Amino acid sequence: MFWSRPLVSNDMHDWIVECFDWFDARFPPPLAPILPTQAFFTAPGGTGPETAMRVLEDIKRHMGFQAAVELAPLDVLPAEYRIDYQAPSQIAGTFQSDGETALIRYDPEQMNRPLQFINLMAHELMHARLAGLEDAVRGGAEAHELATDLGCIIAGFGVFQLQAADDAGWFGYMSQPSLAMALAIFLGRRGLGADAVAAHLSPRCRKLLNRAFKQL
């Protein structure tokens, strides 16, 4: 007799659920997932700083984040001069804060891949949302980057977290199975199924999401 292997461990599942409860108790939970469509994002095409700021403002609006955040490109070589700009050693973005001024910096090359850029901006803005709360989230400071990725899914950006990692060929801080489980939990809490986001996911991501729903 054979058993199918669970997508994530019970410990990971429990941590995700506990983080959902923590976030939902402190920040207004979105009613539906944020999708990569013009209905959610008003920024025009282009790769300039004005477009980048419009994307950030759209994300702030969806997160209900009111504080001012400065935005600037990283001082990096153009992609044509790099061996592989998506290599794990490459820094896609950073967040800095001195307690008064918050600054997000980003690799301009990311703007040529809108879904990845939105995912990056959501991750860095989640750092701003969690500034000063690093020890309060389940798992504490050691799990802060994991909780930041998860916080983006809880804020509605699960499609971006899951698909951007698949497109880039790297897994970020949370594994793809864990991201899929978190997205399934997000949808399940709103009475939605995988079909609510399937059109925006690759076949591989849809398969992971369906497995997550089966485990739930």
More confident residue, 170 or 168: 168
Q: What is the model's pLDDT at position 90?
A: 59
pLDDT digits (tens, 9 = 90+) for 12-31: 999 999 999 999 999 999 99
Q: What is the model's pLDDT at position 81?
A: 44
φ, ψ of residue 139 to 5 degrees: the values are 105, -15
- Categorize the per-residue pLDDT at 210 as very low, low, confident or very high, splitting at 50, 70 and 90: very high
| Largest interatomic CA distance in the chain | 60
Using the predicted structure, report yes or no on whether residue 133 has a pLDDT greater than 50.
yes
Using the predicted structure, report yes or no on whether residue 67 has a pLDDT greater than 60.
yes
What does the angle CA 156 – CA 159 – CA 163 come to, to the nearest 5 degrees?
A: 150
Using the predicted structure, report yes or no on whether residue 98 has a pLDDT greater than 70.
yes
- Categorize the per-residue pLDDT at 106 as very low, low, confident or very high, splitting at 50, 70 and 90: very high
Average model confidence (pLDDT) across the chain: 89
pLDDT > 90 fraction of the chain, expressed in percent and rounded: 70
Q: State how far the Cα of 108 lies from the Cα of 79, in Å rounded to an integer.
A: 9
The answer to which of 93-102, 112-121, 158-167, 193-202 has the lowest mean pLDDT is: 93-102
Q: State how far the Cα of 26 lies from the Cα of 28, in Å rounded to an integer.
A: 7
Cross-strand pairs, 95? 104
